[in-house]
Amino acid sequence: MANNVEKYFKEAMDRIVFINLSDEFVDRHQSLRFLKGIPIPVSLDVIEKEARKTESGKMGFSPAAAAQAMTFVIGANKNFPYAEQYKRFLKYNVKGLYLVMLGSGIDMAQSGKYMEAAILFRATDIYDRWVRKDAKLTAPTARDPKLPESPEALYNYARACRDIYMNEEEEDANKKVVFREESVKAFEQLTKEFPEYDQSYYFLGFFYMNKKLYAEAKEVWTKFLALTKEEAMAEDVRERMSQVDDLIIYEKGYLEVMNDRAQNGLDILLPLYEKYKEWWNLLFFIGLGYRKLGEFEKAIFFFEEVSRIKPSQSDAYNELGLCYASLNDYANAEKYFKKAALIEDNDPELLCNLAAVYINCGRLEEAVETLLKAEEMAPGEEITKLWRIELDNARNRTIN
């Protein structure tokens, strides 16, 4: 996932240019000799605003400008060919670098520049781990000294990635997915490296809820409540957790229905109905459970409720068509299959269901026309082949 993130980070580097220090300049500054032949990054913005110039008008070397750009490059591409030299330069030329980078990232985030903020927070975390790479344990129970002492860099990186996908326009759906997954990955890493840090559990709960991972959401929010001192956030989580148990029950129930254990599923789902009579997902699976048990009248009630609450729910219309067809009420079956096909732009499976109604009604020419549409939409589909056989059998029966 990191490489996917770097694709977008590199796009943010279009204002970075690279210069080479002259051998004469490097030779005069012993502390910079390790940069001989190394391209030095500088922001065009800094060149325009801050770079000092010699009398000839040429730009001189600005350590501050180079340091700022180096952190950006390290954060955007952690495997950049000269990253090690940049880290070395930063270590010996910038005092309090960790806090400087962290502060710059926070300033960027507060001004709405989330991509730049994420790059800086990532650079802060990468640099901090690099500085500690040679650290050794001093006691058997001591915390691993190679890990950061503070969660701030990784936490703010996770938050910035979250801000990117939360504020991203819909036209780049892949970008939203990439940064959402990167944010989750960073928060999950925080729970391992800083298990007592409450904020990571707070945000992970929302990610898991959105993915319908209700048991996981409950687990991390329970940990958050045990750790946090933030009463307002705790109250928010307690309110949300009051629904999580019901969501876990719902998940268990609909899986039972989907796995053809309809009665078990209904036993689990029906108690929720009294609390959530407008929750169309719940009503749909109750209806599906009844339809699988052959209790079509009850199923029709729930599917009609779904279509009332969510008129664009094509699956509910399809299920109504199946229920009415099972009751030999082909007029209503035709009506609902047509509604579903209209919403789904003549989905082949829905067209086959409609063709089945025509076959059962003896309207064979309409069945032929409908199956031809289905075959055009999805050539070679097994379901269309099966109903083509049924149609041919019906025509032969008519001839005979």
* Structural domain boundaries, residue 379: 346-400
Task: Assess whether 25 and 155 both reside in one domain.
Answer: yes
Residue 192 clears pLDDT 70, i.e. is over it: yes
Task: Assess whether 186 and 316 both reside in one domain.
Answer: no
Has residue 200 been placed in a domain?
Answer: no
Residue 328 clears pLDDT 60, i.e. is over it: yes
Helix (H) / strand (E) element for 352: namely: helix 348-361
Q: Identify the CA nearest to 17 among candidates 46, 55, 52, 37.
A: 46
Give the CATH number of the domain where residue 332 resides: 1.25.40.10
- Cβ atoms within 10 A of the Cβ of 71, count? 27
Q: How far is CA 162 from the centre of its chain?
A: 9
Answer whether 90's CB lies under 8 Å from 67's CB: yes
User: What digits encode the pLDDT tens for the residues 335-377?
Assistant: 998 999 889 887 888 888 888 888 888 888 887 887 788 777 7
**What's the predicted TM-score (pTM) here?**
0.74
Task: Assess whether 148 and 85 both reside in one domain.
Answer: yes
Domain count, the chain: 3
Task: Assess whether 177 and 109 both reside in one domain.
Answer: yes
Task: Assess whether 329 and 389 both reside in one domain.
Answer: no
Task: Assess whether 380 and 319 both reside in one domain.
Answer: no
Has residue 222 been placed in a domain?
Answer: no
Q: Whole-angstrom Cα distance, residue 196 to residue 31? A: 41
Across 11-25, 182-196, 376-390, least confident range: 376-390
In the prediction, which pLDDT does 363 show? 85
Answer whether 190's CB lies under 8 Å from 158's CB: yes
Has residue 80 been placed in a domain?
Answer: yes
Has residue 42 been placed in a domain?
Answer: yes
- Domain stop point among 308, 324, 343: 343
- Cβ atoms within 10 A of the Cβ of 264, count? 16
In the prediction, which pLDDT does 217 show? 94
Task: Assess whether 48 and 188 both reside in one domain.
Answer: yes
Q: Stretch 20-32: mean pLDDT, rounded? A: 76
DSSP β-bridge partners for residue 19: 40
Has residue 164 been placed in a domain?
Answer: yes
- Residue 58 has φ and ψ, to the nearest 5°, of -80, 150
- Kindly tell me the burial class for residue 397, based on how many C-beta atoms sit within 10 Å of its own C-beta (0-12, 13-18, 19 or more): exposed
Longest dimension (CA), the chain: 105
Task: Assess whether 103 and 135 both reside in one domain.
Answer: yes
User: What digits encode the pLDDT tens for the residues 52-100?
Assistant: 454 444 555 577 788 888 999 999 998 899 999 989 888 888 888 899 9
Task: Assess whether 132 and 9 both reside in one domain.
Answer: yes
- Residue 278 has φ and ψ, to the nearest 5°, of -110, 10
